[in-house]
Structure 1
Amino acid sequence: MPILLVSSCDLCRIVADNLTRQASIGVSTLAIGVNTLNSDAGKGNYARLVLLHDNVGKVLVLLPAAKLLNLVSIWRETERHLQPVKGDDVKRFFSQNKLLSREGQQKLFSLPLFIDSAFEDQDMLDVIEPYSSLRFTADRSWYVASMRSIRMGLSVSDIENVQPQGDDETVITHAVERFTALRIRQRLEDTLGLPSLAPTTQKIIMLRSDPAAGVDRLVPVVKVDPSLSAQVMSWSVSPYYAAPGSIQSIDDAIIRVLGFDLVVNLALGIAMGKTLNLPEDTPRNQTPYWQQAVYTATLAERLAKKMPGDIRPKPGLVYLAGLLHNFGYVVLAHLFPPHFSLLSRYIEANPHLRLDYIEKHILHVTREQVGAWLMESWSLPKEIYNGVRYLNDPLNPKADAYAQLIHLANHALRQNGWADGPVEEALDCDVLAITGLTQAQITEEIERMQDDSDVLQDFSDSLASH
């Protein structure tokens, strides 16, 4: 009998345990992402162990640790639509005490096994399962009778070598023409079926882009939008701002409590978020969209204020860039609905790999490219779209402090289970040096956010409700 066939009761208990844990800490620590496997575990003979399943049953997969698991290769070769098992279930599956013994590890391979062709003739494999951190050495004799060899691992260079060349608009056009029925004519933004921005949003963008704009021009814009007015009043009485006395009016809320920058940024973030619906078939265990947006914006802004004064960017614009850093993800779901479910399954199957590489493999365009391009076409400030575009490439000559701060904030949040993406063991020391920040400062701000987690979660929920 194969070991570790999780029953329906086991699955219910897993879900209940996760919900209890989330409730106890006030914020979800479930996120899509594990160690990047860029260290020794990603080299040599290390094999990543993956658990897949379908209505027939479970199977194991072994492929080079750092490579992308190409699910389509398995589907094509096996004629089975095998799917990745949810991350927390995988962790429970491979954390059994039985798997600490050689006997248990050998018995694991009574499950059917698909092995990457790179390993088919090797006598011994150093195996790693990243969700549970299980590691052991497997003897070929354990699995040779049940294995099937398939070429299914793709390296980062394999993915990069087939990407279209050109600027972002050329890449986006190529992706849209390849993966949809659209054929681009005239201006790209005229053909994608994206909704136009509401008049209030357009006015807010103009205010955000005008360095001379102030509260006197913002208050009339807020007052004519009932939904925005209600939200501003709700923010102003939040315990997070601890305003003395009662709030009597919109003017009072903006002038005395919230300020121009915060109201403009939050209003614009909400307005952008309302232009498109959040996708439904997302990776399971994913950090909720608005939670990740608020936490990234909050941490990035706080880090900006810690930077030396001579290189410090505008904290308000840093906050807005953080709030919108993942907007391209929603745009991808809008542009490529038939392929978005496939993208979600690939993210689940490859939690060690950068999300932009997975998107390049599936769609040939990334959320950062399409999000930044759209923000530029909507005339948002350059600091915003540039910060979003290069957050995964903070040492690029075109990257600035906005991209570098979003990068640091996002990666620090991943280490604490508050954002999706692969987890680096340490933050990039070159990016820290450029920004003048230290690991100690970032750790201090993370601890402050833990203290504020209830308020930040309430804030995230209020944004999600709109």
Structure 2
Amino acid sequence: MAIGVHTLDERQGAEQAVRLVLMHDADGKALVLVPWSGLLNLSSIWKETGRQLQPVRAQDAERFFGQQALQQEEGLRQLLSLPLLLDQSLADEPELLLYEPHSGQEFRVPAGWLDDGGLGVHRLALTRDDIEAGLPSGDDRTLIYRAVEKFTALRIRQRLEDTFGLPSFSPTTQKLLMMRSDPDAGVDALVPVVRIDPSLSAQVMSWAASSYYAAPGKVHSLEDAVIRVLGFDLVINLALGVAMGKTLALPKDTPRGGTDYWRQAVYCATLAERLCRQLPIAERPRPGLAYLSGLLHNFGYLVLAQLFPPHFSLLSRYLEANPHFPQEYVEKQVLNVTREQVGSWLLEGWSLPVEVCVGVRRQREPDYREEHWRYAALVSLSSCLLRQQGLSDGPITPLPAGLIGSLGLVPEQVEEALADILERRESLDELTRLIEKARRD
């Protein structure tokens, strides 16, 4: 299961739809009604009600609103008798089209059915323009510094490098980074570096023996694993991905029901590389860097958890309460910065190739067309396809208009690449487990 729901476009009546949200706390359940196009501001709910209401789990909402009784007027009236919070923009509407995104249920109700004894009418929703207007101005670096200063205790308000404590890499990782940035580096330079690191050698052997790569015959040596089975790009990219993951712990209080971090990373990397190899040769970026961009596309999520530990739980609750809303806007509202901004900033600080940094930073911008844009476009396309399959978190949206054609692909190529990924889910999940194990070791 993944965190995210199908979005509504104008043809489906997004402008008229009202989102129905079931929340709860120690005092019981409550309903919240807000415009579909708005972000539900939990802080407003807590302030106006004095209750610490939280969104119910996606599975619980789906089960609750799927009850047959709600298809009858009596059951619907009973539902609306729960304590109710109404966004002020809806107060004068004579009739409301309620939509519950997890179950897909729709209810058209007269305003007179709403319980007058509810929790009241308040400003509960924020638009994207509201969120943007509340942000400080400046480039990514400035925004990150200001966010850290805002959310960090006074006693440790220092330069971001001091606050964050940028970790240093092992000699092996430093050599891998140098090779990754060297277009002339090859297997002859890589094998000796891997051989002198016992942990990395064991990891490479386990990857080569996994069912995903299905190497004919046994893998007899490290050279065999690197040269015959995995290849230069894959070994160096997986090793770097594991090294990055070891520097930051996986957050504990994540959105409930979300997709595992490394599963998203492996699937996005594999699909981005597969799509990259379908591009016309004259316009094709380096498949290895497309893979690494996908593997690290969500790295900023780990950075947010490291930078803002007291507020990461709050971010998780906002993501649960707004599964239809673009994640970057939820992060801007809660933290003033996005995972793409902090993730690319840190990768730049670690001297990763600029192509990867662009791929991570611009993945939410399907119209981005500056240098190295294809890496970002491949990650954007891969993420969108995987969200539609429940293999990545975030709102489930149609493919950005024109993105496939701008890359030089046709829909049939995209469908074929995705189908191949889905057919190999079992072996990809095995590879994910091996990477998670390598990160823990």
Establish whether TM, by shorter chain, passes 0.5: yes
Question: Given the superposition, is the C-alpha separation of residues 42 and 288 from structure 1 closer, same or farther in structure 2, using an over 3 Å criterion?
Answer: farther
1:108 corresponds to: 79
**1:81 & 1:420 partners in 2: Cα distance?**
25
Which secondary structure state, in structure 2, belongs to the residue aligned with residue 409 of structure 1?
Answer: helix
1:7 corresponds to: none
Q: CA RMSD in A?
A: 1.3
Instruction: Tell me by how many angstroms 1:40 deviates.
Output: 4.5
Q: Residue 257 of structure 1 aligns to which amino acid in structure 2?
A: V
2:436 corresponds to: 464
**1:239 & 1:144 partners in 2: Cα distance?**
58
2:379 corresponds to: 406
Report if the CA contact (8 A) 1:42-1:64 is conserved.
no
2:305 corresponds to: 333
Within 5 A, what are the aligned runs for 1:251-270?
Answer: 251-270=223-242
Are residues 1:388 and 2:351 paired? Answer: no
Report if the CA contact (8 A) 2:266-2:295 is conserved.
yes
1:78 corresponds to: 49
2:327 corresponds to: 355
**1:410 & 1:463 partners in 2: Cα distance?**
20
**1:237 & 1:357 partners in 2: Cα distance?**
42
Within 5 A, what are the aligned runs for 1:107-146?
Answer: 107-146=78-117
> What percent identity do the matched residue pairs reach?
55
Correspondence for 1:96 among 31, 47, 67: 67
Which secondary structure state, in structure 2, belongs to the residue aligned with residue 321 of structure 1?
Answer: helix
Report if the CA contact (8 A) 1:223-1:229 is conserved.
yes
Are residues 1:65 and 2:36 paired? Answer: yes
Report if the CA contact (8 A) 1:387-1:400 is conserved.
yes
Correspondence for 1:415 among 388, 393, 404: 388
2:157 corresponds to: 183
Instruction: Tell me by how many angstroms 1:79 deviates.
Output: 0.8
Q: Residue 167 of structure 1 aligns to which amino acid in structure 2?
A: D
Correspondence for 1:427 among 396, 399, 406: 399
Q: Residue 86 of structure 1 aligns to which amino acid in structure 2?
A: R
**2:12 & 2:20 partners in 1: Cα distance?**
12
**1:450 & 1:396 partners in 2: Cα distance?**
28
**2:16 & 2:234 partners in 1: Cα distance?**
51
Are residues 1:174 and 2:146 paired? Answer: yes
What TM-score, normalized to structure 2?
0.96
Question: Given the superposition, is the C-alpha separation of residues 244 and 46 from structure 1 closer, same or farther in structure 2, using an over 3 Å criterion?
Answer: closer
Q: Residue 376 of structure 2 aligns to which amino acid in structure 1?
A: A
Gaps of 5+ in 2: none
Question: Given the superposition, is the C-alpha separation of residues 358 and 455 from structure 1 closer, same or farther in structure 2, using an over 3 Å criterion?
Answer: same
Instruction: Tell me by how many angstroms 1:196 deviates.
Output: 1.8
Which secondary structure state, in structure 1, belongs to the residue aligned with residue 277 of structure 2?
Answer: helix
1:150 corresponds to: 122
| CA shift digits 1:163-185 (9 cap, x unpaired) | 12111101101111111124344
Which secondary structure state, in structure 2, belongs to the residue aligned with residue 310 of structure 1?
Answer: helix
Instruction: Tell me by how many angstroms 1:42 deviates.
Output: 6.0
**2:162 & 2:78 partners in 1: Cα distance?**
58
**1:122 & 1:114 partners in 2: Cα distance?**
15
1:209 corresponds to: 181
**1:241 & 1:460 partners in 2: Cα distance?**
13
Q: Residue 141 of structure 1 aligns to which amino acid in structure 2?
A: G
Are residues 1:33 and 2:4 paired? Answer: yes
Instruction: Tell me by how many angstroms 1:51 deviates.
Output: 0.5
Report if the CA contact (8 A) 2:387-2:396 is conserved.
yes
2:315 corresponds to: 343
Report if the CA contact (8 A) 2:80-2:115 is conserved.
no
Which secondary structure state, in structure 2, belongs to the residue aligned with residue 49 of structure 1?
Answer: strand
Which secondary structure state, in structure 2, belongs to the residue aligned with residue 273 of structure 1?
Answer: helix
Report if the CA contact (8 A) 2:212-2:431 is conserved.
no
Correspondence for 1:244 among 206, 213, 216: 216
2:286 corresponds to: 314
Report if the CA contact (8 A) 2:15-2:37 is conserved.
no
Gaps of 5+ in 1: 1-29
Report if the CA contact (8 A) 1:111-1:146 is conserved.
no
**1:191 & 1:132 partners in 2: Cα distance?**
43
1:301 corresponds to: 273
**1:44 & 1:434 partners in 2: Cα distance?**
30
Report if the CA contact (8 A) 1:52-1:59 is conserved.
yes
2:251 corresponds to: 279
Report if the CA contact (8 A) 1:356-1:366 is conserved.
yes
Q: Residue 51 of structure 2 aligns to which amino acid in structure 1?
A: R
Give the total of aligned pairs.
434
Report if the CA contact (8 A) 1:58-1:111 is conserved.
yes
Q: Residue 406 of structure 1 aligns to which amino acid in structure 2?
A: V
1:6 corresponds to: none
1:218 corresponds to: 190
| CA shift digits 1:194-230 (9 cap, x unpaired) | 3222221111110100011111111121112221111
Report if the CA contact (8 A) 1:173-1:184 is conserved.
no
What TM-score, normalized to structure 1?
0.91
Correspondence for 2:18 among 47, 56, 80: 47
| CA shift digits 1:221-250 (9 cap, x unpaired) | 111222111110001112222222222221
2:413 corresponds to: 441
